[in-house]
Amino acid sequence: MRTDVSTLPAAAGWCAAFALAAALSWAPAARAAGPVVEIRNPLAECMQAQPGLRSVERGLVLQDVALQVSRPVGECGCKSALVAYRASVALADGAESVVQSGVFGALRSGTRTLALASDTQVVGERPVTLSLGCAPAD
C-alpha cells in the first residue's frame, strides 16, 4: 500500500482544525464583541472599570470587568471596600428593568466576573447597563 505524502500536511491541518472546533464547542460560550455593556461608574475617581468578555456558563450570563483601583473607594464616599452593581436592560417602552445585582470587593485591581442575569432569555442580545456604586455598610 502506497501513501501519498503530499496530502499529509492538509490532512493534519484538517484534523487540528476539527480538534480545535470540538474543544471550543465544549468550552463556555464567550465573545469579545457582541451586545454592548455600558458602565455607569460614579466611583471613577477611585477605580476605573472596563468591560471585557461576556460568556454564558450553565445558563448564567457572565461579564468580565477589568478594575483599575487607584484609591480606596472610601475616599469616594463609600463606607466599606465593597462595591454594589446593578445590571439592567432597556425594555421596548423605554423603561429600564433590573435583571441582576450584587456586590464585589474593590481592594485591589484585577478582573471581576459578574453575573448579569441568571437566564440568557432575560438579557438576550440587548445592551446591558452596569451601574456601580457604594455597597451599604453592614
Q: How confident is the model at residue 36 (pLDDT cuts 50, 70, 90)?
A: confident
Structure confidence by residue, pLDDT tens digits, 57-75: 999 999 999 999 999 999 9
Structure confidence by residue, pLDDT tens digits, 40-61: 999 999 999 999 999 999 999 9
Instruction: Report the 10 Å Cβ neighbour count for 134.
Output: 18
| Coil/strand/helix, residue 16 | helix
* Domain edges within the chain: 29-134
- Report DSSP state, residue 71: S
Grid cell of 87 as nine digits: 445590571
Q: Which amino acid is at 65?
A: V
pTM over 0.75: no
Grid cell of 136 as nine digits: 451599604
Does the domain at 29-134 match CATH 2.40.10? Answer given as: no
